[in-house]
Amino acid sequence: MPPVTQPGRDKYDIVWIGGGSGGVAGSRRAASYGAKVALIEATPKLGGTCVNVGCVPKKIMWHAADIAEKIRHAENYKFKGTANVAKEGVELHEGNAVVTSPTTVEVKRPDGSTYTLNTDKIVVATGGRPTIPSDDQIPGASLGINSDGFFDLAEQPKRVAVVGAGYIAVELAGVLHTLGSEVHMFIRGETVLRTFDPSLQEVLTKWMEHTGINFHKGSNIKKVEGAKGQAITLHTDKGEAVEVDCLLWAIGRHSNTEGLGLEKLGVELDKKGNVVIPGIYALGDVAGKALLTPVAVAAGRRLSNRLYGGGKYKTDHLDYTNISTVVFSHPTIGTVGLTEPEAREKYGAENIKIYKSNFRALYFSMINEDHKEPSMYKLIVTGPEEKVIGIHIIGLGSDEVMQGFGVAVKMGATKQDWTIPWRSIPQLVTLR
149 within 8 A of 247, measured Cβ to Cβ = no
Q: Minimal CA–CA distance to 18: which of 56, 51, 58?
A: 51
Question: pLDDT at position 51, please?
Answer: 77
Length of the chain: 432
The number of beta carbons lying within 10 Å of the beta carbon of residue 241 is 10
Q: Considering only CA atoms, give the Rg of the chain.
A: 27
Q: Decide if 53 is inside a domain.
A: yes
Same domain? 152 vs 241: yes
Please report, as a single letter, which amino acid is at residue 429: V
Range of the domain at 34: 6-61
Question: pLDDT at position 211, please?
Answer: 92
pLDDT < 70: residue spans in the chain: 1-10, 53-54, 58, 61-62, 69, 73-88, 275-279, 419-432
Q: Decide if 66 is inside a domain.
A: no
Q: Which helix (H) or strand (E) holds 51?
A: helix 48-53
Q: Minimal CA–CA distance to 126: which of 324, 29, 261?
A: 261
Rounded Cα gap, residues 98 and 256, in angstroms:
12
User: What is the pTM (predicted TM-score) of this model?
Assistant: 0.80
37, β-bridge pairs: 14
pLDDT digits (tens, 9 = 90+) for 233-272: 999 999 999 999 999 999 998 888 888 888 888 777 777 7
Q: Decide if 89 is inside a domain.
A: no
Question: pLDDT at position 287, please?
Answer: 80
* Burial class of residue 50 in the structure, from the number of CB atoms within 10 Å of its CB (0-12 exposed, 13-18 middle, 19+ buried): middle
Q: Which residues contact 280 (CB under 8 A, 6 or more apart)?
A: 99, 102, 121, 122, 123, 124, 262, 265, 267
Answer left, alpha or beta for residue 16, where phi above 0 means left and psi between -120 and 50 means alpha. Answer: beta
Same domain? 414 vs 363: yes
How many structural domains is the chain composed of? 4
Same domain? 349 vs 382: yes
Question: pLDDT at position 432, please?
Answer: 46
Q: Minimal CA–CA distance to 92: which of 107, 114, 113, 80?
A: 107
CATH number at residue 408: 3.30.390.30
Same domain? 11 vs 109: no
